[in-house]
């Protein structure tokens, strides 16, 4: 055991920005804090990293514990380590970025340890604890950038979706309107969507055809040098 171990160390946490799409509204999962500091304030789900788990495992564990959520996409976002970011002392946090299908039974059970969990529109969140507003802003930026050149948007939709749903998703994330015909042309020409023999139900107008994203085909095309774009 080396001498380096005798120096004081920053504490290490993970925090997760979990996005979900609810009927054309982009939501983020927040937890109401039950302990000091910032008791009662809303914050990103997260917690301390244990000695024997990887960072990603820690993120998954916290999400399961605090909200009963198993994200369909999870990636590391950024590490925040300003000395003053936590009033308790030096705490460095590795932020993760997650996408979930709200359709799944990801209906957010109340958390294990008496805190509350809830979905907020990303355009209208309360003031957050710590530097979590910065973390959220960074995550939004990442989502906006990445959705255009990687097909991660599908992780926010139910397995079967209409093209209009897909278009709305892009419009909300990119914060601009898209042309219906051009959008359909582009996305269908990539040949990544499986056209199903089903239509949406219970709508009071012409029912739209349902599609499924073909993960396998995408992996194949990707290996062959194909690049998803918008």
Partner DNA sequence: GCAAAAGTGTTGCGAGTACACCCATGC
Partner DNA sequence: GCATGGGTGTACTCGCAACACTTTTGC
Write out the binding residues for its own copies, residues 46-65 only, by CB under 8 A: 48-55
When asked if residue 35 is in the footprint of its own copies (CB under 8 A), the reply is yes
| Among DNA, its own copies, none, partner that 196 touches (CB below 5 to 8 angstroms by kind) | none
Instruction: Please count the other Cβ atoms lying within 10 Å of the Cβ belonging to residue 193.
Output: 18
Minimal distance in Å, beta carbon 229 to DNA?
6
Token digits for 196?
A: 């199903």
What residues from 85 to 104 belong to the interface with its own copies (CB under 8 A)?
88-90, 92, 94
Total interface residues for DNA by CB under 7 A: 20
Angle CA 117–120–123, to nearest 5: 155
Q: Contacting its own copies (CB under 8 A), which of 24, 40, 81, 159?
A: 81
Please report where in the chains the tokens 């983020």 appear, as a residue.
Answer: 28
- Please report whether residue 222 would count as binding its own copies according to CB under 8 A: no
186 touches DNA by CB under 7 A: yes
Q: Rounded CA gap, 180 and 182, in Å?
A: 6
| Whole-number Å distance between alpha carbons of 73 and 66 | 18
For tokens 């949406």, the residue is 200
Beta bridge partners of 209: 199
Name the active-site residue from 116, 195, 222, 229.
116
Which backbone phi and psi does 108 adopt, to 5 degrees?
60, 85
**Which residues lie near DNA (CB under 7 A)?**
162-164, 179-182, 184-186, 199, 203-209, 229-230
**Which residues lie near its own copies (CB under 8 A)?**
1-2, 4-5, 7-12, 35-36, 48-55, 76, 78-79, 81-83, 88-90, 92, 94
């Amino acid at each position: 055991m080396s001498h380096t171990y005798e120096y004081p160390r920053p504490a290490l946490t993970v925090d997760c920005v979990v996005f979900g799409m609810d009927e054309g509204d982009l939501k983020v999962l927040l937890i109401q804090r039950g302990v000091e500091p910032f008791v009662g304030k809303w914050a990103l789900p997260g917690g301390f990293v244990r000695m024997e788990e990887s960072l990603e495992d820690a993120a998954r564990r916290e999400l399961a514990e605090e909200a009963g959520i198993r994200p369909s996409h999870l990636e590391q976002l950024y590490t925040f380590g300003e000395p003053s970011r936590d009033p308790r002392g030096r705490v460095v946090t590795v932020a993760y970025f997650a996408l979930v299908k709200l359709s799944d039974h990801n209906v957010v059970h109340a958390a294990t340890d008496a805190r509350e969990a809830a979905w907020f529109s990303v355009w209208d969140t309360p003031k957050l604890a710590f530097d979590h507003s910065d973390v959220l802003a960074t995550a939004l930026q990442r989502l906006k950038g990445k959705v255009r050149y990687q097909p991660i948007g599908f992780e926010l939709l139910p397995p079967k979706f209409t093209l209009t749903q897909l278009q709305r998703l892009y419009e909300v994330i990119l914060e601009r309107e898209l042309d219906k015909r051009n959008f359909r042309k582009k996305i269908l020409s990539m040949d990544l969507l499986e056209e199903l023999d089903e239509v949406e139900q219970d709508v009071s107008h012409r029912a739209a055809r349902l599609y499924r994203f073909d993960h396998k085909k995408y992996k194949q095309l990707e290996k062959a040098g194909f690049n998803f774009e918008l």
